[in-house]
């Protein structure tokens, strides 16, 4: 099994994970946490090609608000192990989420997932693998735009031989995110790449992740079935100019899950958490605070009538 240290060296500014868990099939999962461990738990799931560090700002804000936020690197990403057989199915991602959630004991977590992480959260809840308090889906829905998905995959496939410098990586990101208001954060870049023995920088994820087969019609059917079964408070959050989740995709999701809420983040695309982290974080925090208060009120009523 390839571990994170066998695929290149972490840059000095990249912090070591605070936690390590083992998945059902032995994959080492690396994670961080913020806030009081006795607070309402929130599990943050990153998107394809990202790492747990994409949630650092949101995690700190949740911790400051009294939640216990946990983010972990998906298998094959960041400091988590690469699958020895290249197993990166959504089923495997769901089981990894179950593993991390099990460390919380009997408490029901809130789930916030972007892209790939949102897909795992949707299936985990919709297919009854996980009993959660609330669900936030960030730029993920049963219907996605094929052209947008193709563009994202093309971006992820760039430079398989590696980048010569962090500046080169920053240029590639700017071209992919022209709407991003700020230049790529140098600290963020150091947490997203590894430095190889050949003097090249490479993304912090297993290239075999993109080779995993994706059956889009089956995916749509499975995601739609899960959306129909959702009973918990749900928010679909979309970058206004997302190429992957369109307005039509949002409308379809709301037909499948009529009680869900939706919100657009202006001046943001697919990587909404990176492009408008301030607005994104505030929107997520308001929703989760409201749901936590409602859950606490319901618990008090249940105790009063017991």
Mean pLDDT of the chain: 86
Asked whether residue 163 carries a pLDDT value surpassing 70, the answer given is yes
**Angle between the 116-126 and 90-102 helix axes, to the nearest 10 degrees?**
70
119 vs 15, higher pLDDT: 119
Confidence band of 147 (pLDDT split at 50, 70, 90): confident
> What's the CA gap between 254 and 250, in Å, rounded?
6
- Quote the DSSP letter at residue 205: B
Whether 104 and 41 have beta carbons less than 8 Å apart is answered as: yes
State both tokens at 134: 């609330």
227-247 b/e with 16+ CB inside 10 Å = b? beebebbbbbbbbebbbbbbe
Residues 262 and 239 sit within 8 Å (Cβ to Cβ): no
Dihedral sign (CA 259, 122, 103, 31) = negative
Q: What is the 3-state secondary structure (H, E, C) of 77-92?
A: ECCCCCCCCCCCCHHH
Confidence of residue 275 (pLDDT cuts 50, 70, 90): very low
* Crossing angle (nearest 10°) for helices 56-64 and 277-305: 40
This prediction's pTM: 0.89
pLDDT tops 70 at residue 7 = no
Going from the N-terminus, what domains does the chain have, and what CATH number goes with each?
4-305 (3.40.50.1820)
Residue 78, token pair as written in the block: 């960041």
Residue 270's pLDDT band (boundaries 50, 70, 90)? very low
* Mean pLDDT along residues 218-247: 93
pLDDT at 173: 82
Which pair of structure tokens corresponds to residue 197? Answer: 């023995």
Alpha carbon distance 162, 195 (integer Å): 9
As separate numbers, helices (DSSP H) first and strands (DSSP E) second, the chain gives: 10, 11
pLDDT per position as a tens digit, 38-84: 999 999 999 998 899 989 989 999 999 999 999 999 999 999 999 99
Question: Cβ of 306: how many Cβ atoms within 10 Å?
Answer: 5
CA-to-CA distance for 282 and 95, rounded, in angstroms?
Answer: 29
């Amino acid at each position: 099994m390839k571990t994170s240290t066998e695929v290149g060296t972490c840059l000095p500014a990249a912090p070591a994970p605070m936690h390590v868990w083992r998945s059902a099939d032995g994959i080492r999962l690396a994670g961080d946490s913020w806030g009081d461990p006795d607070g309402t738990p929130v599990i943050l799931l990153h998107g394809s090609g990202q790492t747990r560090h994409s949630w650092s700002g949101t995690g700190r804000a949740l911790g400051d608000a009294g939640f216990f936020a946990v983010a972990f690197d998906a298998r094959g990403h960041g400091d988590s192990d690469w699958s020895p057989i290249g197993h990166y199915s959504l089923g495997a991602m769901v089981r990894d989420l179950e593993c991390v959630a099990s460390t919380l004991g009997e408490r029901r977590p809130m789930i916030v997932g972007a892209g790939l992480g949102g897909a795992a959260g949707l299936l985990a809840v919709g297919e009854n693998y996980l009993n959660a308090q609330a669900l936030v889906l960030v730029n993920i829905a049963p219907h996605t735009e094929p052209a947008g998905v193709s563009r994202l995959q093309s971006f992820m496939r760039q430079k398989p031989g590696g980048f010569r410098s962090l500046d080169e990586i920053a240029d590639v990101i700017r071209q992919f995110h022209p709407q991003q208001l700020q230049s790529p954060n140098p600290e963020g870049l150091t947490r997203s790449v590894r430095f190889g023995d050949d003097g090249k920088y490479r993304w912090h994820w297993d290239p075999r992740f993109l080779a995993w087969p994706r059956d889009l019609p089956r995916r749509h059917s499975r995601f739609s079935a899960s959306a129909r079964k959702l009973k918990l408070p749900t928010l679909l959050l979309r970058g206004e100019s997302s190429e992957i989740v369109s307005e039509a995709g949002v409308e379809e999701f709301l037909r499948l899950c009529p009680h869900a809420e939706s919100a657009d983040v202006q001046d943001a695309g697919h990587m909404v958490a990176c492009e408008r982290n301030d607005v994104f974080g505030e929107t997520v925090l308001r929703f989760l605070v409201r749901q936590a208060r409602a859950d606490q009120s319901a618990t008090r009523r249940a105790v009063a009538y017991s």
